Amino acid sequence: MKKSDHYLKIVEWSDEDQCYLGRAPGVMLGGVHGKDEAKVYAELCQVVEEWIRIQETDGDPLPPETAHKAYSGKFNLRVGKALHERLAVAALQS
């Protein structure tokens, strides 16, 4: 498993931009875009890997993992773990 596998990567269609947007919330600002969803995802993975290499070279700590998190199900209001995960992902997307 690569270090980049520990970070959530999101690719979604943007009606406003008329292309796919790829980003890694909690890892870096900005992202990648293009007309081909698979190519955008592949490029996003490369960018995240490069960002991690730069952080490590500079001696900067990596942010907390955003993928494969264990969700407790607590959100001031008890909800199911699956809903908690969906809400957390939606929050990262926004």
DSSP the chain: --GGGGS--EEEEETTTTEEEEE-TTT-S-EEEES-HHHHHHHHHHHHHHHHHHHHHHTPPPPPP-SSPPP---SSS---HHHHHHHHHHHHH-
Query: Is the whole-model pTM more than 0.95?
Result: no
Per-residue pLDDT, averaged over 73-94, amounts to 84
Q: For the segment 23-80, what is each residue's pLDDT rounded down to a tens digit?
A: 998 888 888 999 999 999 999 999 999 999 999 999 999 998 888 777 788 767 788 8
Q: For the segment 8-20, what is each residue's pLDDT rounded down to a tens digit?
A: 999 999 999 999 9
